[in-house]
Amino acid sequence: MADTRRQKKNRLTAGNADRHLLYEASVQVVDADINFVRRVYRNARARVPLRMREDFCGTAMLATEWVKSNQNHEAWGVDLDPEVLEWARAHRFEAMGDAARRMHLIEGDVMTARIPPVDIVVAFNFSYCIFKQRAALRTYFESVLAGLDKDGILVLDLFGGTDSFSTLEEDRYISGDRGPDGRTIPPFTYEWEHARFNPITNELLCHIHFKFKDGTRMRNAFTYDWRLWTIPELRELLEEAGFSASLVYTHGWDEDEESDGIYRKKMAFKNEESWLAYIVGVK
């Protein structure tokens, strides 16, 4: 009987699930991101990067893992949402120990936040797509350029492919994980939806839903109202903002036509149904 009560207590449902934990478990692969930005920086500057700024940081998973990965690393996470920053403090800082002193959370606008110059600025999970006008995105890139050290780089991620410009629903089973504070995350299903796309403006409305073993569903756990930018547009805007160069890295495909997870610098690649890329702006 005790085991049955314990199983019920630990059962994940739409009523008790923490959407931030589920997001991190299903969307973010920060070890790969950190390895990538280190490699790109070393290739571009022939030295080791130490200071990172994570814009639109949310739960600051990337920034905190950056700090934890090396005792000489320091990071700043910037976000407008006080609730998600408080979540990061509550769930991440205690587990970081002394390393938390090198992790700084800033509640503010990425355009105007006052932060010391850094080696790397990242804007991941397509967060910069909230800027729908060229002038606004160019202004953001200009503000990043001003906040970079003389050898700094900006790293963006982007998704695309023929499926990106259409409505769709995809789901993926997540076998379980462990949160930053040690909590076990039971298995669940991650659902990604393109609810609406406007080909005149390239505006894309997306939702993330989560589905649980008991049949309940957390609808619209996260909603994104974006402009889906293209690689040429981003490179042109980086140049207009003053970056000296921009580089494009994309993954390859394995025998099953799945991503091989290895991002290489490219001048051209085949437009598949879906792809992921990193765009690197070099100061």
* CATH assignment at residue 137: 3.40.50.150
φ, ψ for residue 69 (rounded to 5)?
-75, -15
Work out how many domains the chain is built from and give that number: 1
Is position 144 within any domain? yes
CA distance 251 to 115: 32
Token reading at 217? 């569903």
Give the pairing of strands 275-282 and 74-79.
Answer: unpaired
Closest to 191 in 3D by CA, of 169, 160, 176, 174: 169
Token reading at 257? 């036509």
| Domain that residue 246 falls in | 23-157+230-282
Other C-beta atoms closer than 10 Å to the C-beta of 240 total: 14
Is position 81 within any domain? yes
Is position 189 within any domain? no
Whose tokens are 């790969």? That residue is 32
Token reading at 201? 């403006």
Predicted pLDDT of residue 11: 82
Is position 122 within any domain? yes
Write a three-state SS string for 49-107.
CCEEEEECCCCCHHHHHHHHHCCCCEEEEEECCHHHHHHHHHHHHHHHHHHHHHEEEEE
Token reading at 44? 């571009």
Is position 47 within any domain? yes
Is position 213 within any domain? no
pLDDT of the chain, 283 residues: tens digit per residue: 434 444 455 688 988 999 999 999 999 999 999 999 999 999 988 899 999 999 999 999 999 999 999 999 999 999 999 999 999 999 999 888 899 999 999 999 999 999 999 999 999 999 999 999 999 999 999 999 999 999 999 999 999 999 999 999 999 999 988 888 777 889 999 999 999 999 999 999 999 999 999 999 999 999 999 999 999 999 999 999 999 999 999 998 777 777 788 899 999 998 988 999 999 999 9
Does this model's pTM top 0.75? My answer is: yes
Q: How far is CA 16 from CA 61, 84, 91, 99, 163, in A?
A: 22, 17, 16, 30, 33
Is position 150 within any domain? yes
Residue 56 contacts residue 78 (beta carbons within 8 Å)? yes
Which residues in the chain belong to E strands, given as ranges?
Answer: 51-55, 74-79, 103-107, 118-123, 148-160, 168-174, 177-178, 184-185, 188-198, 203-211, 217-227, 245-253, 259-265, 275-282
CA distance 97 to 128: 31
Is position 17 within any domain? no
